[in-house]
Amino acid sequence: MVISKPSVQMLTVSENAHGQRLDNFLFTAFKSVPKSLIYKNIRTGNIRVNKKRCKPEQKLQSGDMLRIPPFRQAEKIQLKPDIRWVNLLKQRIIYEDEHLLAINKPAGLAAHSGSGIAYGVIEVLQQTFPEQKFLQLAHRLDRDTSGCLLIAKNRTILLELQNLFRSNKIKKIYWALTKGRWKTEACRVSLPLYKNINQSGERMVKVVETGKEAITDFKVIQNFGVVSLMEVSLKTGRTHQIRVHAAESQHPLAGDEKYGDKDFNKLMHHIGLKRLFLHAARLEFSLVSLGKTFLIQAPLEIDLQRVLQNLEK
């Protein structure tokens, strides 16, 4: 840890931060400073906007001048991503323009850093393309899930995409390999989900009547004996939604170590599956600000293609 020398800072709000809440802006700019300390400095007037006292919820404007007090902060030394991830993500760009970037995220790499995770996709991209002053995740994918991941290049597009995801106005299609044959070629699973974090910090999701609404559509693509390849469409975006709904329907996902079937997973491992068989295959959405409709597709991973080839044999 490196301790920075305290001094008053004057920060100018950029166009990318236009419209952002003051507290959220400060949380991002000073990640190692406790939120309670930031709120205290706002409340006491040590943090000011354009030389005036302010409130946490105040919306910032491009060009605003912020006074930041000389609170001492411990700055984390940012770990340099493994060059293998850097090279891999460069090869996995499936769409890019001046507003957004789409990556075919590999399984095994988290979307972002966190507890016990030094870096994820967004940190790798930010260090790989330092000329891009704004790169932020528009949504998340689980570490073990591969496929379409959207990154915004400016705050306007970020907010628009986040709003589309929240209001379920983005069509999300996944491919999943599940245990058994489904009774019908297509079905809808509507079961409320509740997210719980146990003492070890692990996220677990359960079906609970008082949970949040969750709707998933399953459609058979191909049957392989007692295994089914499914097209999955999310109508809501809850944590582990596909995995929990599939397991509750008695058709757990292949390779799912948390909600799946151990014996089934052993069988699939013998066939060549080394990970969770869940892939974000397609995203469809429209950005009103650009007057444009997008269809982002990520090809199925080679390792998953080989599993399907082994099943056909």
How far the first Cα of the chain sits from its last, in Å, is 55
Q: Please give the full DSSP string across 57-74, using - where no structure is assigned.
A: TPBP-TT-EEEE-----E
Which candidate in 142, 144, 256, 261 is catalytic? 142
Report residue 138 as tokens: 């528009």
Q: What is the torsional sign of CA 48, 51, 53, 56?
A: negative
Token duo for residue 197: 């974090």
Rg, C-alpha atoms of the chain: 22
Q: Is 263 a catalytic residue?
A: no
Distance CA 221, CA 199 (A): 39
d(CA 119, CA 249): 35
Residues designated as active site: 142
